[in-house]
Structures are given as C-alpha cells and as structure tokens.
Amino acid sequence: MAVSQLIGARVQRREDPRLITGHGRYIEDRLPAGVLHMAVVRSPHPHARIVSIDTSQAAGAPGVLAVLTAKDFHGQLAGAMPVTPSFVPEKKYVPERFPIASEEVCFQGEPVAVVIADDRYLAADAAEQVVVEYDPLPAVVDIEAAMAPGSPLAHVGGPDNIGWDMTFDGGDIDAAFARAEVTVTERIWQQRLAPTPMEPRGVLADYSPYDERLTIWLSSQNPHFIRLFISGAMGMPESRVRVVAEDVGGGFGSKISPYPEDYLVPAAARLLGRPVRWIETRTESVLNAYHGRGQLFTAEAAALRDGTLLGLRLTQVLDLGAYHGTFGAFQACACLMAGGVYRWQAVQGRTIGVLTNKVPTDPYRGAGRPEGTHLCERMVDRVAQEIGMDPAELRRRNFAREFPFTNNFGLVYDSGNYDGTLDRAMELVDYQGWRQRQAAGRQQGRLIGIGCSTWVEICGFGPSEATAGATGGIALVESAHIRFLPSGSVAAFVGTHAQGQGHDTTFSQIVANTLGIPMEKVELRHGDTAEGPAFGYGTYGSRSLAVGGMALHKAAMVVRDKAQKLAGHLLEVSPQDLVFEQGTFSVKGDPSAHKTIEEVALAAYGGKLPEGMEQGLEAVSYFDPPNWVWPFGAHICVVEVDRETGAVQVHKYVAVDDCGNVINPMIVEGQVHGGIAQGMAQALYEEVAYDQESGLLLTGTLTDYLVPTMNEIPELTLDRTVTPSPTNPLGVKGIGEAGTIASSAAVINAIADALSPLGIHHVDMPASPDRLWKMIQEAES
C-alpha cells in the first residue's frame, strides 16, 4: 500500500496477532518470582463503625507474611485520595477518603485490612480469619430521601449529604417558558451501571529500597495521572516512580481514577521490601470498581405548537456514592449537553451531587453525555407526541444548521450536518415503511415502535484553557515524541493508552503517513511512564485521536521539517526548493536529485550538519486543541414489545454517525458496534441494584448483573457521513463513546413509541420484561 494512502485505510490491527494467539500482556500475566499476593478484607456493611480488628489469627495462618490495617498504612501514605473540580468548580462537602478505613466504613466493600501471603489461595484463606467487629449504622440508599432534612448521614459528623448543588444558566429560562404553548414534564431515571471490562483490575508493585525506586504495573487507562497521585501519597519524587500499563482488557472509564488498591499494593511492597500483587475478582469488581450513571432527572420542556422548541429546564440528582469519584463531577456535563443538536431559546440545568453509602460513581463510557442525550431525546419525543408531530420532523424543525454553532452555555460545536445523518438513517431503516407497518400492526394489537436519537457529543478533552481548572491544575493536552533511529525506523511515544481501541494501528498509520515511511517501520509505544515525554494524559472521553493522534502528527511534522532542512543542505538547495512525496525529498524540477527521509535520518546522526543544527532527528510536541470536537449522528431503532410477556425484540437498528475524517474505518465501525451494545444493555438489561432497606448490593456477580451475550445484540446496520472537524489538522473527531451516547435513547424512544397506544409516555431503564409487563398490565386494567 502506498504510504500516502494509509490514512483512511482499513488496515488490520497490528496488536491482534499476540492477542488472538494468547500472547497478550495483561496485568495478571505478570508473575515475577518471589511475588507476594494481597487479599483485601472488605466491609460487609454499607455503613458501620469499626469497633475492633483482630488480626492475630490471620497473621499466624500458613504462608502469611503480614496483615495490615489503616494504622500500618498511615505511616506509608499521606493525604486524601484526589477529587478534581471537573464541571463543578465549587463543592459543598467533600468527605476525605483514605484508601483504607480506620474508624468508619461508608460502603459495602470498603477495605478494612489486607493480608499478604505467599500465594493467592493462602491470602484468601487468611483474609477469612481477620475478625472485624462492626457497629452498624443506618445506610443512606435512596438519593431523594438522602436530600431530605433529617436523613441519616452517609458519613458520621457530615453536615448533610449534599456534595454539590449548582445551576448552569443558559439564557433566560423564564422568558422561554413564558412563550410556551405546550409544556411536558418527565422524571427520567438513569440507573447505576457497572462498567464491567472483561479484565478486572490488578496492581503489581516492586519497590527497591536501595535506590528508592518504585515500579507499579496495573491495568489502567491513565498511567501518568496514577504516577502523579501515588508518588505524592507515598512521598516519593514523581521521577522515581514508574507506572506501566501494558495490554488493558477494557476500561470504559472504570480504569481512569485511582483506587484504594493502587495505593495499598505499592505501600505494602515498600513496607515489606518484596514485590506484591493484587488481582481483583469479578465479585470485587462489581462491588468496588467505580460505577457509572445513578442519576435521577426531572425535566420540563416548553415548545410552540408548530414544533419550535423554546426552553428546557432540568435537575440532575446524582448518586455520588460514599465519596466523590476523582472525576465524578464530570458527569454534571449532562446539564451542559442537555440541549443536544437543537436551537433552544434557553436551557437551565441544576446538578445536585448526593452522598450515599455505595461505591462512588465516576465516568463510565460517555459520562454525562449519554445521560444528557437520553434526557434531551426523550423530551423531544415527548413534545412531538404532545403536539402530534412525527418525532423526526420535529427534530428537523429545530436542528442547528449554521456552524460553528454556539449552544446555550457558550459551547461551540465545531461542525455538523444533522440533516445529513438523519436523512441517511431514515433511508437505511425505511422509516416511512416502518411507520406504515406500525400503523397496520396496531390494527392487529401489535406494539411496534420506532425511536430516533439524533445525538451530538462533546469530546476530545482539552482544551488547556478549559481543562486546567477542571483537573485542579493540569491542562488536558497530549504529548508525543517521535524519534528516527539512524537506520530509518521510528519510535513513536504518546501519552494516551488504549484498552482495545487499536492505537498501535491507527496511530502508526498517522505517523507513517506523515513521515512517508512504511507502517512496519513505526514502533508505537504507550502506557509506560518511563518512555516518552514527561507527562501523558490518558485515554478517556474520546480524546485519544483528536488530541493524542494530533500530538503525534505535530511531532512528526516537526521531524519532517527538520529533515527537509537537512535534505536541502545535503542536496545543496534551499529547503523551499524541495517537494516531499512518499517519503522522498526531491528537488523541484529535478526529481533525480533526491534523498529519502531514511537517508536524511542517517545523515542527521553524522557530521557536517548545517550550522546551528544539532544531531538527531526527533521531536517532542504537546498538542493543545483550540476547541473540543463534536461528533454527531442519527440512530434509529425499531422494536416490537410482546404484549403478553413484556419482552422487547429489536427488529432493526441503524446508526449513521459522523466523526469527521476517519483514520481506519474498520476500527471506527468496531467502536460503534461496541458502543451501541453498551447503550442497548443499559436500555434493556443492566442495573446495579441495592436493597433499599439494608443498602446491600443485590447484583454482585455476572449471574445477576446482566451483561448481554451475543444472543441479545442484534445485527447492526452502520453508515457514515464525513464532516471534517476544523479543530485539528487531520479533521478528526472521536468515536469511542458515540454508540453508547446515542443508543439508549433510540431504544427507549422506540419502546415508548410502541407503548403509546396504551397511554404510556415514558419507560425507565432497564426496560426489562418485568417492568414492561407490569406497565402494560396497569395500562390495560
């Protein structure tokens, strides 16, 4: 394949040969000689006072080297686990979180002791022998009850359960509602979800007391931030801590923020002077890996009878769990994105973070944007239903059409063509045909529904100006380092880190294409803080290509510019007189005079360089995007609800997305497939459920937490339009979260449409057969 054709090419993934043959390098695969195994003793109560911990029996159990509790770790770890401002700059109450509880446990699963033993079986045995006496306290479970005066407190001694309460004003909301000819209101529940990457987490740490160096291997989306946090807590210079994430078996947001074990394992390794590892079980994962969603929305929309949308007023009550997630407030962006792709006169969003006795919530695939989209798309359908207009038509009447488009909160959508994706989706799904089949079906009592979701997403975090404050100081940009070795191969380092997104492939496509060399000559490295520039910013928020990919592109352009200068010197012409094509610098008008970039690379390590030029051919670049990027699209779902059982059958699912220019269409399609499946899973199957009285987790294994199998996910029909982003040189956006952002609304809109003849206007998630059957029974009685 010609190098210049690499961008946009369906290149097979270079990471796959090792993964499909069983030679991946996941965290559990690393088992150094002499490693000790840690098991965590966790609170069985959602809320309790710790009366006493007796470790004596466990400490004497076979193979046990140490049993450690909070008092042991207080000498090793300083400060509290981090909470960033994210979208909520001022918080009312942020309970301090230490990685292991000492006096009070505030969620089921919170660590109270750890056992370190020769192997995992012995560690698990001994963990059973740690005797902890608890004095149970009332558990805060329901988020609305938690806000009421006199509610039990999630933390003893807290002022109340309100973590934050702030309102985003996007225009004069009262003026918008004053013009209303029709208003609709709805309560929309976003159930708690467990991100459930197939690989649970794991941490391995090795501390060398002689040179005071620490290496941590873990399954993470965000190794540089983990180094920053852990080195700080351990009182070590950041430069002496190396964090390595090799192959990561999925993340979906749950491997961004630091976890208790990320601190406890390295601290134990330093304390014992031996390598220590902890591998999470699935039960621990469902219980303790940060959840997502868990939000109750109340919303009111105002419109004119001709379908003109006027105002949207919403309140997001967000279940924080027992502590603020490090990036948990990011989910408040649901308020800022609740206007979607439409022109509103005003939007107002209030967000309230509520502390409960559950594991914290934090970003999960989409993080705030699926919730905002779901709310917006539901409310638009409710308005359409109220005034008797086809929901696709109502969308068209209100689409933003002039770009850049500034939304009610001042966010600037960089480019879009919302009619284009909706038109194509309606054509592919045969929208009019399904409306006819729906009408005919209704005559026979069949419940067929069609649901649209015309979504837009803010992603590609940076820019620095907006994000430095949001993280508490570190601007979300991205770094890259490109280095030509003398023999012409290229080492490329980037600060993002894939968990299945195929960066080894797509990023190599960009580097090879920019430098005009074959992909095989590019070695892409990421996930190891000992390599590349000083800081990397991780992979989340569909940012890797639009920020990290652009950092690589920028560094490659700096390398190419230097190579051009040196080529001009070697060919004794001005660099301006050279053209660069397919990896070769040629003299304009005299193509026989040329140097390949590989020849130039070798020369760069030699003598006789131009005056002032240093040896080497490499560059470090940081890319600070001037704006976010704004992918969008239209998803249409056709369902049929079985009146007798409440079961939902998806007849057809069409997704037409636009993520700007595409580096590798095969990977984009895969991301969309997986994203849709997760949104569909939320719509139909998954829910982290707690007992409302006791606060105990009811869905603690994959037997109860219903991750769909192949049988639950239908064939998906995909297409694309291409509206390049003006925000970056390659015109790219992001696609990792798009499917999840779009799909829950498409499915639920379809189900609500199917049930509308029964007078049912809204369906909460998961739309399980049980829930729907009850709703149908109630409506028909």
Partner 1 sequence: MAQTLRLTVNGAAREDEVEPRLLLVHYLRERCGLTGTHVGCDTSQCGACTVLCDGQPVKSCSMLAVQAEGMAITTIEGLAPPGGMHPLQTAFWEEHGLQCGFCTPGFIMAASALLAENPDPTDDEIGRGLEGNLCRCTGYVNIRRAVHRAAAAIREGAGAPAPMGG
Interacting residues with partner 1 (CB under 8 A): 12-13, 15-17, 19-24, 26, 28-29, 31, 120-121, 196-200, 247-250, 252, 279, 281-283, 499-502, 666-667, 669-671, 673-678, 701-703, 707, 709-711, 713, 715-716, 739
Residue bearing tokens 């394992």: 265
Cis peptide before 195 (omega within 30 of 0): no
Residue bearing tokens 């609304």: 745
Q: State the nearest-atom distance from the C-beta of 672 to partner 1, in Å.
A: 8
For the residues of 248-294, what is the DSSP string, one character each?
----TTTTSS--HHHHHHHHHHHHHTS-EEEE--HHHHHHHSPBEEE
Q: Given the complex with partner 1, which of 366 and 462 has the nearer CB atom? A: 366
Q: State the nearest-atom distance from the C-beta of 42 to partner 1, in Å.
A: 15
Taking the C-alpha atoms of residue 105 and residue 296, their distance in angstroms, rounded to an integer, is: 26
Q: Given the complex with partner 1, which of 368 and 502 has the nearer CB atom? A: 502
Collapsed DSSP state (helix, strand, coil) of residue 721: coil
Say how far residue 310 (Cα) sits from the centre of its chain.
31
Q: State the nearest-atom distance from the C-beta of 123 to partner 1, in Å.
A: 13
Q: State the nearest-atom distance from the C-beta of 646 to partner 1, in Å.
A: 22
Q: Given the complex with partner 1, which of 111 and 502 has the nearer CB atom? A: 502
Q: State the nearest-atom distance from the C-beta of 7 to partner 1, in Å.
A: 18
Taking the C-alpha atoms of residue 337 and residue 585, their distance in angstroms, rounded to an integer, is: 47
Q: Given the complex with partner 1, which of 62 and 729 has the nearer CB atom? A: 62
Tell me the CB-side half-sphere exposure of residue 113, using CA atoms within 13 A.
25
Q: Given the complex with partner 1, which of 268 and 279 has the nearer CB atom? A: 279
Q: State the nearest-atom distance from the C-beta of 737 to partner 1, in Å.
A: 13
Q: Given the complex with partner 1, which of 356 and 499 has the nearer CB atom? A: 499
Q: Given the complex with partner 1, which of 414 and 669 has the nearer CB atom? A: 669
- Tell me whether residue 226 is exposed, middle or buried, using C-beta atoms within 10 angstroms of its C-beta: 0 to 12, 13 to 18, 19 or more: buried
Tell me what percent of the chain is helix, strand and coil, each rounded to the nearest 5. Answer: 35, 25, 40
In SS3 terms, 121-186 reads as: HHHHHHHCCCEEEEEECCCCCCHHHHHCCCCCCCCCCCCCCEEEEEEEEECCHHHHHHCCCEEEEE
What is the H or E stretch that residue 65 is in? strand 64-69
Q: Given the complex with partner 1, which of 638 and 677 has the nearer CB atom? A: 677
Q: State the nearest-atom distance from the C-beta of 623 to partner 1, in Å.
A: 25
Q: State the nearest-atom distance from the C-beta of 733 to partner 1, in Å.
A: 19
Q: State the nearest-atom distance from the C-beta of 708 to partner 1, in Å.
A: 8
Taking the C-alpha atoms of residue 550 and residue 548, their distance in angstroms, rounded to an integer, is: 5
Closest residue by Cα to residue 492 from 459, 519, 453, 456: 519
Q: Given the complex with partner 1, which of 24 and 420 has the nearer CB atom? A: 24
Tell me the CB-side half-sphere exposure of residue 654, using CA atoms within 13 A.
22
For the residues of 355-387, what is the DSSP string, one character each?
E-SSPPB---TTTTHHHHHHHHHHHHHHHHHHH
Collapsed DSSP state (helix, strand, coil) of residue 311: strand
Residue 198: count other Cβ atoms within 10 Å of its Cβ.
Answer: 9
Residue bearing tokens 């492939």: 505
Tell me the CB-side half-sphere exposure of residue 222, using CA atoms within 13 A.
23
What is the H or E stretch that residue 506 is in? helix 503-515
Distances (CA, A) of 127 to 256, 424, 697: 28, 58, 21
Q: State the nearest-atom distance from the C-beta of 348 to partner 1, in Å.
A: 36
Q: Given the complex with partner 1, which of 152 and 665 has the nearer CB atom? A: 665
Taking the C-alpha atoms of residue 746 and residue 739, their distance in angstroms, rounded to an integer, is: 10
The answer to whether the CB of 476 falls within 8 A of the CB of 547 is: yes
Q: State the nearest-atom distance from the C-beta of 262 to partner 1, in Å.
A: 20
The answer to whether the CB of 651 falls within 8 A of the CB of 450 is: no
Q: State the nearest-atom distance from the C-beta of 490 to partner 1, in Å.
A: 24
Q: State the nearest-atom distance from the C-beta of 320 to partner 1, in Å.
A: 25
Strand order in the sheet with 182-193: 162-170, 346-355, 309-321, 292-303, 182-193
Q: State the nearest-atom distance from the C-beta of 677 to partner 1, in Å.
A: 3
Q: Buried (b) or exposed (e) across 162-175, using 16+ Cβ within 10 A?
A: bbbbbebebbebee
Taking the C-alpha atoms of residue 576 and residue 743, their distance in angstroms, rounded to an integer, is: 50
Taking the C-alpha atoms of residue 55 and residue 371, their distance in angstroms, rounded to an integer, is: 45
Q: Given the complex with partner 1, which of 137 and 203 has the nearer CB atom? A: 203
Taking the C-alpha atoms of residue 371 and residue 740, their distance in angstroms, rounded to an integer, is: 10
Q: Given the complex with partner 1, which of 397 and 673 has the nearer CB atom? A: 673
Q: Given the complex with partner 1, which of 651 and 761 has the nearer CB atom? A: 651
Q: Given the complex with partner 1, which of 162 and 707 has the nearer CB atom? A: 707
Q: Given the complex with partner 1, which of 31 and 78 has the nearer CB atom? A: 31
| R_g over Cα of the chain | 27
| DSSP character at residue 13 | P
Q: Given the complex with partner 1, which of 66 and 667 has the nearer CB atom? A: 667
Q: State the nearest-atom distance from the C-beta of 36 to partner 1, in Å.
A: 14
Q: State the nearest-atom distance from the C-beta of 339 to partner 1, in Å.
A: 28
Q: State the nearest-atom distance from the C-beta of 745 to partner 1, in Å.
A: 17
Q: Given the complex with partner 1, which of 11 and 563 has the nearer CB atom? A: 11
Q: State the nearest-atom distance from the C-beta of 370 to partner 1, in Å.
A: 16
Q: Given the complex with partner 1, which of 19 and 94 has the nearer CB atom? A: 19
Helices (H), 572-697: 597-604, 665-684
Say how far residue 151 (Cα) sits from the centre of its chain.
33
